[in-house]
Structure 1
Amino acid sequence: MRFTVDRLDHIVLTVRDRTVSASWYQRVLGMDIEEYGRNNRVALCFGGQKINLRPEGSEGWETAEGAQPGTSDLCFTTAISSDDVVRHLEKCGVVVVEGPVSRLGALGPITSVYCRDPDGNLVEIASYQG
């Protein structure tokens, strides 16, 4: 039997302020905020996946060595066009750092728009429809 994995379940994002980060991802990307487990951990839920927000310096988390706020590069997909993504980001007061630009996603060609979250992580919002 060949061992394989079949999907990404969640990631852990180290943040300076989980309230600020959770609010940004909810307001800008429409994610749901969920508190869970011990110490009222916070997760961002969307499309069958989640992002756990780990406050910088927190104890009791198994996470990457040297995890720091602002060192991640994340790509999310959306069903709306890249032009609509740009308009939405501008309406939210979020600076577009690049895009729309053509890229190659996991399932084929995508059109991407890039911005940064409050910690400086690069956030790519991609559309398979252009």
Structure 2
Amino acid sequence: MKLKGMDHIVLVVSDLQAAIEFYRDILDMRAEQRGVNTALLFGDCKIHLHEMQTGARPVAAVPAYGSQDFCVRAEGSIQEIYKELQKKKAPLEPEMGIVKRIGALGEMQSVYLRDPDGNLVEICVYSA
């Protein structure tokens, strides 16, 4: 077996509309609804949004709001991304600013914010 990358993740959300608005308006993801299924699309990735009571199967052993911590890659200047998030009044992690990290592809710089359920969303840009 040779794994190639991540296809999608699933977030359990308490308020579907609030989650859609956050990811669409703050992070510029495209929301797509097909019947009762809602997905957020960006690049070649997808985030599925499940409300606890929908009864989607299969699910994690213990689905919970705000239990995720994930990172998405971005292009461009991390400084400009940070300024854009500030302008949009995004819920940035207090007193963190831009931080250096080591990701799957090496050195990167990241900013952190929280979605409406408290999930920690990291946005990174890799060093050139």
- Compute the RMSD of aligned alpha carbons: 1.4
Matched, 1:66 2:62: yes
- Tell me what 1:46 maps to: 42
Equivalent residues of 2:91, 2:115 under 8 A apart: no
> Does the residue aligned with 1:99 lie in a helix, a strand or coil?
coil
> Does the residue aligned with 2:56 lie in a helix, a strand or coil?
coil
Over residues 19-51 of structure 1, what are the superposed CA-to-partner deviations in whole Å (9 max), with x where a residue is unaligned?
110111011111111112xx4210001111100
CA distance in 2, matches of 1:72, 1:57: 19
Gaps of 5+ in 2: none
Paired residue total:
126
Equivalent residues of 1:81, 1:129 under 8 A apart: no
- Tell me what 2:124 maps to: 126
Q: Give me the TM-score of the superposition, normalised by structure 1.
A: 0.90
Shift of 1:83: 1.3
Matched, 1:14 2:8: no
Q: Give me the TM-score of the superposition, normalised by structure 2.
A: 0.91
> Does the residue aligned with 1:75 lie in a helix, a strand or coil?
strand
Gaps of 5+ in 1: none
Shift of 1:53: 0.1
Deviates more, 1:110-119 or 1:83-92: 83-92
Equivalent residues of 1:72, 1:121 under 8 A apart: yes
% identity of equivalent residues: 37
